[in-house]
Amino acid sequence: MTTAETAPAPSMRLRELVFGAACAAALRATARLGVADALGDSPMAVEDLAAAVKTEPKPLRRLLRAMSCYGVFAEQGDGTFAHTEMSRLLREDDPHSLRYITLWCTEPWTWDAWPKLDEAVRTGHNVVQDLYGKEFFTYLNEDAPESALVFNRAMTTSSAQSARDVAQLLDLSGSASVADIGGGQGHVVASLLEKYPTLHGTLLDLPRVVENADPRLRPGGALADRMRVVPGDCREAIPVQADVYIIKNILEWDDDSTARTLRNVMAAGGPGARVVVIENLVDDSPSMRFSTAMDLLLLLNVGGAKHTTESMVGRLTGAGLVIDDIRPVNPYLHAFDCTVPA
């Protein structure tokens, strides 16, 4: 029986770490094959699983055995495999699904970029521009539409899972309007509008993103009469006036893009506007391994970075915002509540 084991000796642990790509590839293969979706509540024989996902049984057993070492699936004494708490997160129908996050973090471009991490560390610049001759998101949309779709679904999943936490945290009882800047498909603003029945909202993001906005926000949706959907790039301009601006997990680009976005928000809101910036940090989080890995990935693709509390405070005050409060949203997000000064 193969199970997740206790920590090995340092020499073996380092050997395991250098094979980290094998674990990532195995997770990607498992997600793409739909193994977790095919496995039901009862343990299944590999032969039955192989038939369900259209693979050969022997290599599928090898994949499942590898995954079981990390606690993703569990091999039973009779050779069948069962779900674990982690493997269920690879199911597309799980309410806390991480299937698209798994795919996003292992997309083809990542395998081109990771070997150049030493170059990115030496120069402090992203490597995607040199790899593909284009800015990262331009490359995604023009040359890798499948990766762009995975990105959008991953961000949608992540946003939907944290939107209720954000809505629960924020008190907007004294506000008439809220704008979700770079808000993806609008799960955060939708949750806020559901919490406050008189609140009006605006969602601003790139045209290809907002055209797939949450159905609640589109014409005919339950919140559409209090909602405006605006296509645009927050790094270029923000033609949206509101009492409160929400900026969630988008201030991770290069410093110039971050500074331009903050300037645009302040110009749009004017003195007295409330700006709530929500980010996951690399110095105050129980998910440090994930956060620091994402930090390095941001260095590779856009020359960006996850923030520490200090760096986030520096960005916000450097832009001229006054920070009124810093609070945790959940175990992996923090909210910086700010005001545009007079």
pLDDT digits (tens, 9 = 90+) for 265-318: 999 999 999 999 999 888 866 678 888 999 999 999 998 888 899 999 999 999
Q: What is the DSSP track for 123-160?
A: H-S-SHHHHHSS-HHHHHHHH-HHHHHHHHHHHHHHHH
Burial of 166 (0-12, 13-18, 19+ CB in 10 A): buried
pLDDT of residue 1: 46
> In this structure, what token pair is assigned to residue 21?
């790509």
d(CA 277, CA 273): 13
d(CA 116, CA 296): 11
Burial of 276 (0-12, 13-18, 19+ CB in 10 A): buried
How many other C-beta atoms lie within 10 A of the C-beta of residue 20? 11
Strands lying side by side in the sheet with 274-279 = 227-231, 200-205, 177-181, 244-248, 274-279, 333-339, 322-330
Q: Any idea which residue has 């795919």 for tokens? A: 103
Regions of the chain short of the pLDDT cut 70: 1-6, 284-286
Beta carbons of 81 and 43 less than 8 angstroms apart = yes
| Closest C-alpha to 259, from 241, 271, 270, 247 | 247
Helices (H) and strands (E) in the chain, counts: 17, 9
| Closest C-alpha to 307, from 247, 238, 233, 232 | 247
d(CA 288, CA 283): 8
d(CA 236, CA 238): 7
pLDDT of residue 209: 87
Strands 81-82 and 74-75: antiparallel
pLDDT of residue 284: 62
d(CA 113, CA 125): 12
pLDDT of residue 158: 83
> In this structure, what token pair is assigned to residue 189?
């603003």
